[in-house]
Structure 1
Amino acid sequence: MATDAAAAETADPYEELTERLKRINAVQSAGGVLGWDQQVMMPEGGTPARSKQLSVLSSVSHDMLTDDRTEELLDACEDLDLDDEQQAVLREARREYERAAAVPRDLVEQISEASTEALGAWEQAKADDDFEQFAPHLERLVELKREYAEHIDPDRDPYAVLFDDYEPCLPLSQAEEILETLKETLVPMIDEIRESDVDVTTDAFEGHFDADEQEALSRDVLSTLGYDWEHGRLDTSSHPFTSGNQFDSRVTTRFDESDPLGALMATVHEFGHAFYSLGLPKEEFGTPLGESRDLSVHESQSRLWENHVGRSKPFWDLIMPTFLEHFPETDATVEEAYESANQVYEDNPIRIEADELTYHLHIVVRFEIERELISGDLDVEDVPETWNDKYEEYLGIRPDTDAEGCLQDIHWSHGNFGYFPTYSLGSVMAAQLYDAADDDIDDLTGKIRDGEFDDLHAWLRENVHRHGSRYETNELVRQATGEDFTADYFVDYVAEKYGDLYDLESSV
């Protein structure tokens, strides 16, 4: 083992630490590109090799991070007179090191291999509508992730430990409080909407919509929003996602020829992720100052663009002529398109196709099932029935198949237990950030209607993107909005928007 003297001999331990972090990031980024390729371009038979490749890369980055020299550098930096940004780098590096050092290398490799194999199994199980094909892989990942959490902190709720992987700066109790607020707000609001006599247009996008033409529309919309094609690309995948960094951030979507709105909103959602990644400081690439502030903030960016821009009336004023250029047979007005884009579904089982309100009940279902799986209160074999029961309880519908039920999302094939709450946290944060931007930007509504996004771009770059991981989540929200992170803005936003759409008495 290297000694303290070795660290002391370093001319600049902070510089050596940041160079080490950049090398670790490079290995992890290479794994990200291989993961993107697996979901987008890899031939079906490539899984065995890809499993080993990703396992080795995860092992290499784990070894680099947990090397004794990393700890020596972290300790040496504690004695330096660092500025606020350097202190933030040290804080983030210390957190990542301590979590990684607690987990044995062989477990890291096992999780990587198991998740790579599970992805292919999930895709086939979904295509075949056969949960039993995926069940052994899910069971294996649940076991491995329990073991992973046990190594990190045996005295904590294992689900809370796993949640930290995606949102390390917010306590699980804060996430639970926000989810509870959403349930208390949305369940009665949805009930009132379903009892409303208002005739909201729901069929503006009925018909057949060629997938190639939908892709052309998606490309036009990405260009309108300001996507940087020099540093990005659009592809298709079984589940829409974004992958990359400030130099290369790629988006994917998927097309249903009976539902152009699904692909369009997914594309706008993924634009928000990519726009955030591309806005991170280029000069800080590979260090925490050049990395996003975890998933709640990342989801706030995608949900801001999807909901506050993409589902707004001004956006449909802007985009409807383009839509009609691609699909001239569509017989819908801007108002009808806006209403259809914001209808509250009575019978939609698919999360990524959900409206703004029922969406969060989809998240609650997944959150509750994940917690029970990790705690051991739910057996994997019982997931489909439990899923369907919860859908019936919270959403009033029962999925007809596992493909549109518990197999619809990709996350569990990655072993991403603890991820789902960040979607709702991000939606709540998006409302607060957008309200602050609206206060600061003169006539933001008019600018969206005119396709002028530069001011919104600049506001997000200045208040969110440029900080990377300098601030923890609650502090970032305070810096951007001047207030503590709260669900109040989301509650007010949906009450006003859907109160107007459905003439709700409770929202008047």
Structure 2
Amino acid sequence: MSAFDDLLAFQRQTEALSSVAERLGWDQETVMPRGATEQRADEMAAMEEVLHERRTDPRIGEWLEAARPQNEVEQRIVDLISRDFSRSSRVPARLASELAKTTSLAQGIWAEARAKEAPEDFLPTLDQVLMLKREEAAALADGGDLYDALLDDYEPDTTAAEIAVLFDAMRPRLVALRDEVLGADHQPQALNGHFPQETQLRLARACASAFGYDWSRGRIDLAVHPFSSGRWQDSRITTRVVEPEPFNCIYSTIHEVGHSSYELGIDPDYAFTPLGRGVSMGVHESQSRIYENQMGRGRAFSGWLFNRMSDAFDGLNIADPDAFYATVNRVTPGYIRTEADEIQYNLHIMLRFDLERDLIAGKLDADDLVEAWNARFLKDFGVAVDRPANGVLQDVHWSVGLFGYFPTYALGNVYAGCLNEAMRDAVPELHDSLAEGDASPGVEWLRENVQRHGGLLPPRQLIETATGVAISPIPLLDYLEEKFGRIYDL
């Protein structure tokens, strides 16, 4: 066997073990007994010790040096393994294990604190997570910017400075559009009624099927915070149900189907290699957001959903599909990021981006986070946070150490804006198909142009190859102004 063959065989085992560890995380958030939290933390720490040892095995360096890639696929595999080897080797094994254990415990503590509206029960644990993440960032940064070192895990070759420039370019148009919409004379009606959990879940499954979710390789479960998990032949989704608010369940499901479909749509030849996963979280979010918003919240699909919901719930308080479309896209000054309309969603991300940069830099401590969050939310949204679950406790990300993840949501929206423009030009029949509850023409275009490539192309190159144009926030902002201008008669 060649050095490349040895390297790939070793990597395949590492990828398989990583998938097992991911399944432990899925189990913890869905069906694991609450009393098993400490045991699971030890299990996660043990798995991370094994994985870290494999990712830093000296033989990887020897194989990389001797490998002679024969084509662009093999070269990309070598490049990605080399990158992971370099980063993993900078993090001490003790720190990797401690992070895995602490974040596993922190997740349960966050969930209980959120349920009890008690941030004081969580903040000491968050402080522990922060200390470990700062240590990890320092090890990875090698004298560079700490936040950039963490961001690189989720969006390679992107810096916080670049993200900040992007956000500064987007914010004025988003704020101006929000102010126009909230001040408009015409305001869509809210959806009211009783929406039982089991009926919501049946509708959620129907929506997942409409977007081509492969039930032979997936499943849907309930979780405190919706997520997807897995790859290759097993990618699962979760959702949550709030009985007075069915859109929460339905659109969380469609969002997670976008993530899961990306993983299931990757070329099967890439399984158990570094190419067999989404190339970045920004690209991942482009898939979930274009499924949820440009397709799922569009006039065509919402018309189909109106009929399905009217039948399922014996009528709605909304008169017709056009009014329902406006209701689906109703803009309100709400608290929750995952429930935010398309205009305000990115403003939620900008808030988190600034706060977590200060947390990692040591400019902000966990003890001061509630006050800082509430002050910033009031400034950005003009509404005072009414309770911690609607404020600093609403997201799971910081409890599990995902610092640097949040900006990829907004970057994914920008990517989705570019992809949507190209997809609509390439697939003129998409509107009519969505009106029939069939998203397959759009899904197939995304699979061919984005999903099947997995990690073969770097994120920006992938999006620009798919669209044929340079990445820009302009398509997203133009789309939002046109869409909401029509809905609100601006």
TM-score computed with the length of structure 2 as normaliser: 0.98
Partner of 2:431: 445
Deviation at 1:329, TM superposition (A): 3.2
1:492 lines up with 2:478 in the alignment: yes
In the alignment, is the contact (CA less than 8 A) between 1:170 and 1:473 conserved in 2?
Answer: no
Query: Is the aligned partner of 1:35 residue 2:25?
Result: yes
Q: Determine the C-alpha separation between the residues in 2 that align with 1:449 and 1:169.
A: 39
1:3 alignment counterpart: none
Q: Does 2:248 correspond to 1:262? A: yes
Q: Does 1:290 align with 2:276?
A: yes
Residue 399 of structure 2 aligns to a residue whose secondary structure is helix
Q: Deviations over 1:399-439 (max 9, x none)?
A: 11111110000001101101000000001111111111111
Residue identity matched to 2:195: F
Please say which of residues 485-494 and 320-329 is displaced more in the overlay.
320-329
Contact 2:423 2:442 in 1 (8 A): yes
Query: Are 1:23 and 2:10 an aligned pair?
Result: no
Kindly state the Cα deviation for residue 319 of structure 1 after the two structures are TM-superposed.
Answer: 1.9
| Corresponding residue to 1:141 among 129, 151, 164 | 129
Instruction: Say whether 1:401 aligns with 2:387.
Output: yes
Matched position secondary structure for 2:356: helix
Corresponding residue number in structure 2 for 1:160: 148
SS in 1 for 2:470: coil
* Contact 1:316–1:338 (8 Å) recurs in 2: yes
Alignment of 1:281-360 (within 5 A): 281-332=267-318, 333-346=320-333, 348-360=334-346
The equivalent position to 2:79 in structure 1, one of 75, 91, 104, is: 91
1:85–1:470 Cα contact (<8 Å) kept: yes
Count of aligned pairs: 489
Output the aligned Cα RMSD: 1.1
Asked if the contact 2:4–2:69 (Cα under 8 Å) also holds between the matched residues in 1, the reply is: no
1:51 shift after superposition: 0.4
> Secondary structure at 1:229's aligned position in 2?
coil
Query: Distance in 2 between the 1:457 and 1:268 partners?
Result: 12
- TM score, norm. by length of structure 1: 0.94
Superimposed CA distance per residue, residues 89-132 of structure 1 (whole angstroms, 9 cap, x where no aligned partner): 11111111100000000000010011011011001100111111
2:348 to 362, 368, 371: 362
Whether the aligned pair in 2 keeps the contact of 1:150 and 1:158 (CA below 8 Å) is yes
Shift of 1:177: 2.0
Task: Read off the aligned partner of 1:22 and give its amino acid letter.
Answer: R
**What amino acid is the match of 1:110?**
E
Query: 2:151 touches 2:403 (CA, 8 Å); kept in 1?
Result: yes
One of 47, 52, 62 as aligned partner of 1:72: 62
8 Å CA contact retained: 2:294, 2:420: yes
Tell me if the contact between 1:170 and 1:474 (Cα under 8 Å) persists in the aligned partners.
Answer: no
Q: Does 1:44 align with 2:30?
A: no
Task: Tell me whether 106-115 or 212-221 shows the greater mean CA deviation.
Answer: 212-221
1:474-506 superposed Cα distances (whole Å, 9 cap, x missing partner): 1101110111211111011111111112233xx
Q: Find out whether 1:384 has 2:384 as its counterpart.
A: no
Write out the 4+ residue segments of structure 1 that deviate beyond 3 Å after TM superposition. none
The whole-number CA distance in structure 1 between the counterparts of 2:216 and 2:468 is 35
* 1:81 positional shift: 4.8
Give SS of 1:235's match. Answer: strand
Segments of structure 2 that go 5 or more residues without pairing to the other structure are none
Q: Are 2:401 and 1:411 aligned?
A: no
Deviations 1:324-372 (A, max 9, x none): 22111313211121111111112x1011111111111111111111011
8 A Cα contact 1:399 1:405, kept in partner:
yes
CA pair 63-429 structure 1, distance change in 2 beyond 3 A:
same
SS at match of 2:236: strand
Shift of 1:295: 0.3
Specify the alignment match of 1:120 in structure 2.
Answer: 108
Residues 307 and 356 in structure 1, CA contact (< 8 A), matched pair in contact too: yes
> In the alignment, is the contact (CA less than 8 A) between 2:301 and 2:434 conserved in 1?
yes
The residue aligned with 1:61 is 51
Cα distance in structure 1, aligned partners of 2:304 and 2:388: 38
Give unmatched runs, 5+ long, in structure 1: 1-10
Q: Which amino acid aligns with 1:94?
A: S
Q: Is 1:191 aligned to 2:172, yes or no?
A: no
Once residues 12 and 440 of structure 2 are traced to their aligned partners in structure 1, the CA distance between those partners, rounded to angstroms, is 31
SS at match of 1:381: helix
CA distance in 1 between counterparts of 2:90 and 2:45 reads: 18
**CA separation in 1, counterparts of 2:438 and 2:27?**
34
1:451 maps to amino acid = G
The letter of the residue matching 1:186 is: L
Instruction: Say if 1:169 and 1:474, in contact at 8 Å, map to a contact too.
Output: no
